[in-house]
Structure 1
Amino acid sequence: MTWRPSARIVRPGGCATAQLRGMALQPLLAWPDSNINGGADYSVDFSGLLTSGETIQAFAFDTGGVGTQAWTYLSGTTATAWLSWEQAGTISVAVCALGSSGATYQIGVSITVSATPALIAASPPPAPGADISAVNNATMTAWLASLPTTAPLNGGWWNNANIPTYEEPKS
């Protein structure tokens, strides 16, 4: 399964009706409110700004020193960063992308961070695409040693002469 950004995705590109009338109206881009010590993955989908067939070559998030970035990830035209917040207030995060045409796109996204600390401090998950596999010789040996050496009556894993075997539960 491929990791996908959460629902905290903003999509710059302006109001379609205003663009038809020749106005350059850009709606306010904002992520949902958070708390000090809170954090999550925050994304910007640049598809509304890129030209046809253009891709993102590089991108950057700048929290202005009020947030900490754990990792970044690019999924198609969506740039994502895992951010945690260290200061309260209304914050503008600058997000910049370099398109394959050589054009740069920079937008500002607002977020309001409450002075009330998060009940549980945010801890970033492993970065998407990172090798989080804990299966190696040592862990497999330890797991095999922890298994019973006879088939369980109610089903489950067992150590069959150092071959992990799964027994279906009997009905």
Structure 2
Amino acid sequence: MYTEPDFVLACFKKAFSEKFGSVGEISVRKAEKSPHHIITVKFHETAWRIGSSLERNVAYVKIGGKSEYIAFQPQNKTILENAAIPFTTVKSSPLLRVPLDVFENTNQDTLHRICAEILMNSCSFPAFGCCARFNECKESKMCTHPDQIYAKSCQFKKLMGVK
């Protein structure tokens, strides 16, 4: 039985720091009038990230009661399926529920990989066209924008099929 969402938070923090460095912070807070704890990513403001795009809820952890689980947004379904992480849904909510014991017993490398992918999936920024790094990106066959979270919206990546 869990009493704190520390393990889940630690997984997301490790994945975040390894993949994105110091572009933001991961925190957890208790939801009001709910048994859930909400894991949130808050990005530091930059020229590329401003306003409402700075904070995103990444996961919801339910501790206590009949079932304990971590819930993710539906757009993460493929990530969980590709990692062979079982999940359920209920009619009253579109969230994907992974039992906490399954999450905790998953291989650490797999956990950190899916946490990083879920973090990326939770970020959305307006699409932007080619920037001053176009030639560098073309030669490298990958987006070289220094802010890889913001670079998720790079149209060059989509057009050229690069990483």
**Superposition TM-score, scaled by structure 1 size:** 0.26
Identify, as 1 or 2, the structure richer in helix.
2
Identify, as 1 or 2, the structure richer in strand.
1
**Pair member with larger Rg:** 1
